[in-house]
């Protein structure tokens, strides 16, 4: 009797977590590229001041 209660409780817990994960996957929103300045970063100090940080500038720094 006692074992079946624990097994049922555990299986219900797993089923609930699966449902929650599935809902989280389907209701997830996309991220906007470039929102809040994340796409093009402008350099604020140094030789390349006020230039957009792209591959040419960043590769020369390495």
- Give me the long-range contacts of 6-10 (CB less than 8 A, separation at least 24): none
Both 25 and 37 in one domain: the answer is no
Phi, psi angles (nearest 5°) of residue 28: -70, 140
17 shares a domain with 37: no
Domain range for 11 is 1-30
Is 54 found in the same domain as 42?
Answer: yes
Considering the domain architecture, whether residues 25 and 36 belong to the same structural domain is answered as: no
Residues 25 and 38 in one domain: no
CB 50 within 8 A of CB 61: no
pLDDT tens-digit series, residues 3-60: 899 999 999 999 999 999 999 888 887 777 666 666 677 888 888 888 887 766 666 5
Q: Which of the four pLDDT bands, split at 50, 70 and 90, describes residue 1?
A: low
Q: pTM higher than 0.85, yes or no?
A: no
Residues 23 and 46 occupy one common structural domain: no
Q: Into how many domains does the chain fold?
A: 2
Same structural domain for residues 26 and 52? Answer: no
**What pLDDT does 42 receive?**
80
């Amino acid at each position: 009797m006692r074992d079946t209660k624990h097994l049922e409780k555990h299986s219900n817990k797993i089923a609930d977590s699966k449902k929650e994960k599935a809902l989280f996957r389907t209701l997830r929103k996309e991220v906007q590229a470039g929102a809040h300045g994340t796409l093009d970063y402008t350099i604020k100090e140094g030789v390349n001041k006020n230039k957009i940080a792209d591959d040419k500038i960043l590769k020369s720094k390495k």
